[in-house]
Amino acid sequence: MSQVNPDNKEHRLPSPISNPENIDFLAAAQENQLLLKYCNSCKEAHYYPRTICPHCGSDDTTWVKSNGHGEIYSYTVMRRGVAVPFAMAYVRLQEGISMLTHLTNCDFDSIRIGQKVKVVFQETEDGQKTHLFEPI
Ligand SMILES: [Zn+2]
């Protein structure tokens, strides 16, 4: 299992796996848009994308565009046992949900909880784009 790009400089992002509930989410990522599922019944957003709202059980859910801004809730930097260090974080979006994601375009030693971040999109190992976050 390879963890690095051929140039051996960047962590290689794993490709997202498509399913009927996230196919629109993944298609939007190819257009550099972050979509969230929003429940019209309880007025809450959720992630990961699901047809049935995890808060109230309603199937009256729809897609909304995230503004892509949030802050780091928690993070870790993987340095051991990997060819190239990488950082992962829980990012809390302004829409009120948290997502597990990679961090990019940052000095791993300067990452801080509460740091403001915004979404960016990068290609994964199979060429699909996926979301990750960088400091503002
Ligand atoms: Zn709901």
Q: Are 121 and 8 in contact (CB under 8 A)?
A: no
Q: Could you give the domains of the chain?
A: 23-135 (2.40.50.840)
Tokens of 10: 């960047």
CA angle (92, 95, 99) in 5-degree steps: 35
E strands, the chain, are: 35-39, 45-46, 61-65, 69-78, 86-93, 98-103, 116-123, 129-135
Q: In which residue are the tokens 């109230």 written?
A: 56
Tokens of 94: 């302004």
Q: In which residue are the tokens 């400091």 written?
A: 135
> Mean pLDDT over all residues of the chain?
91
pLDDT on residue 83: 87
Residue 134 predicted with pLDDT over 90: yes
Q: Ligand 1 center to residue 95 CA distance, Å?
A: 14
Rounded Cα distance between 74 and 59, Å, is: 31
* pLDDT, tens only, 109-129: 999 999 999 999 999 989 999
Residues lining ion ligand 1 (Cβ < 5 A) are 39, 41-42, 53, 55-56, 58
CA angle (36, 37, 39) in 5-degree steps: 140
pLDDT on residue 9: 62
Q: Ligand 1 center to residue 41 CA distance, Å?
A: 5
